[in-house]
Amino acid sequence: MLPISAQQKTMLMRQAQTALSRGDRATARRAFGDLARAEPKRPDFPYQLSRIAFDSGDRAECIAQLDRAVKLAKGNAKLLMAAAERYRHFGEAGKALAAYDAVIATDPRAIKPRADKAHYLQLLGRFEEAERLFRKLIRQHPEEAELYRIFFATEKVAPDEPLLPEMERLWHAPELTDTRRLHLGYALAKAMEDTKQSDRVFAYLDRANGLQRKAAPFDAKAQAREFAAVLAAQDNLPAEPAGEPLPSRPVFVTGMPRSGTTLVERILGAHSAVATGGELGHAMRTAYHLFGAGEAMRPLDREPPKRLRAFAERYVTLARRDAGDSPVITDKSILCHLIFGLLHHALPGARIVVVHRDPRDIALSIYKNHFTTGTHRYATDLADIAEAIKRFRRNVAHWKAKLPGVLHEIHYEDLVTEPEAQSRALVAAAGLDWEDACLDFHKGTGQVKTLSVSQVRQPIYRGSAQAWRKYEAELAPFIEAWGDDPWD
């Protein structure tokens, strides 16, 4: 124990907080380290050190400090919940589940920690355990509509499902809040589709999406301005890569949501040299931080080379923190298509894969699924979805012209029809030698962080191709907004 006075502790706390507000992690680390040695039984000091290590990209130190904090945090539900989320982030399943159990022990009646644990079990592919937890929660809290939505996302609803009458009763309850109704609407739409009541699906979807749009309106013009400015900022950036290769090279896998990017990433992730990062988001966040956000992005050809190098180093540091130190890391962040020029120039050895799918199937799948409120705001209107897909295609065409031969394009329909041929071409495009394991991606046991949690644990199948035909009439607003543009 480091003997320091109460006055010194107060001074160190003030110093640490001021340093954090300035982004001075080194000073904050020293101050919290002194405090941790002075009061070794307090969990908040190692927890703060774990946060600093996380922001610094030090995975091992982050987990070590978090372990110390959790060991000391008996009864501290807030800290334990934060720890569970961090362990999940790192794929530390055992520690995450133990942290959830510790939170639950502080208040066994609380809904959120039990629901979060059940959802995490789904992501891990432990569907039977998740089902038991969800059914128990729903019995205890039948009015909590979000439970139905999350549960049935990975559960096939049978016609005799005993929860169906309860869901429909709840739907007609006049006191049901908008937030609960939107969650229930997505759940009932899924149930109607599963039980072959296709004519009832869109009544629930339209209501749910309308409520979601009310909660998070979409400004199409603002998004168009943002995208145009980001593309323009890269206009005169040299097409050839610059600088030395970095410790791990990324393979960016991008496409519209629900286009098959998770499937493509899982195929690559089955390779022994690859670690899957999922939707990391670091490239866009770092670019916006260093070069200006959205319409404020500065022309990148005028940025000093050391700043472009700083972008590359920061990106790789964070990617390795989250995915591990494999030679190749996949990143399927959706908006990377905005900065292909920057990625190709600043990250030597990076590869870019673009996934396409029939726009009608993309539109149907987007409209059927709930996205976290505030994200993918266009997803609640079929005409807006049409424009979003068109804008994505225009961006891809832009980069194909700017970076000839750099993008590898793959069509979902071709992949499910000719899985081996398409997978071999994909692996080669990622700069890797073929491994047979890439066709057995569905045998992986790691967590899946996207809406495709159940599909990617199955072999490649064609079942979802041309699913739109069943709802052609309901998709009329999308088809009309699409106009005369070709579908492929």
Average pLDDT rounded to a whole number, residues 337-360: 97
pLDDT at res. 331: 97
Domain count, the chain: 3
- What average pLDDT does the segment 327-340 reach? 96
Question: pLDDT averaged over the chain?
Answer: 93
Q: Give residue 1's pLDDT.
A: 55
Q: H/E/C letters for each residue in the chain?
A: CCCCCHHHHHHHHHHHHHHHHHCCHHHHHHHHHHHHHHCCCCCHHHHHHHHHHHHHCCHHHHHHHHHHHHHHCCCCHHHHHHHHHHHHHCCCHHHHHHHHHHHHHHCCCCHHHHHHHHHHHHHCCCHHHHHHHHHHHHHHCCCCHHHHHHHHCCCCCCCCCCHHHHHHHHHCCCCCCHHHHHHHHHHHHHHHHHCCCHHHHHHHHHHHHHHHHHHCCCCHHHHHHHHHHHHHHCCCCCCCCCCCCCCCEEEEEEECCCCCHHHHHHHHHCCCCEEECCCCCHHHHHHHHHHCCHHHCCCHHHCCHHHHHHHHHHHHHHHHHHHCCCCEEEECCHHHHHHHHHHHHHCCCCEEEEEECCHHHHHHHHHHCCCCCCCCHHHHCHHHHHHHHHHHHHHHHHHHHHCCCCEEEEEHHHHHHCHHHHHHHHHHHCCCCCCHHHHHHHHCCCCCCCCCCCHHHCCCCCCCCCHHHHHCCCCHHHHHHHCCCCCC
Among 21-25, 91-95, 343-347, 406-410, the range scoring the smallest mean pLDDT is: 21-25
- Residue 67 confidence (pLDDT) above 90: yes
Average pLDDT score over residue span 98-110: 96
Tens-place pLDDT, residues 200-231: 999 999 999 999 999 999 999 999 999 999 99
Residue 447 pLDDT exceeds 70: no
The answer as to whether 487 is a domain residue is no
The pLDDT value given to residue 365: 96
Choose one of 73, 107, 141: the last residue of a domain: 107
**Whether residue 445 sits in one domain with residue 335:** yes
Are 12 and 52 part of one and the same domain?
yes
Domain that holds residue 33: 1-107
Same domain, 359 and 462: yes
pLDDT value of residue 102: 97
* Residue pLDDT, tens place only, 127-185: 999 999 999 999 999 999 999 999 999 999 999 999 999 999 999 999 999 999 999 99
467 and 370 in a single domain? The answer is yes
Q: Which domain CATH number covers 158?
A: 1.25.40
Query: pLDDT tens for residues 89-102?
Result: 999 999 999 999 99
Q: What share of the chain in percent tops pLDDT 70? A: 95
Tell me: do 50 and 69 sit in the same domain: yes
Do residues 228 and 179 both lie within one domain? no
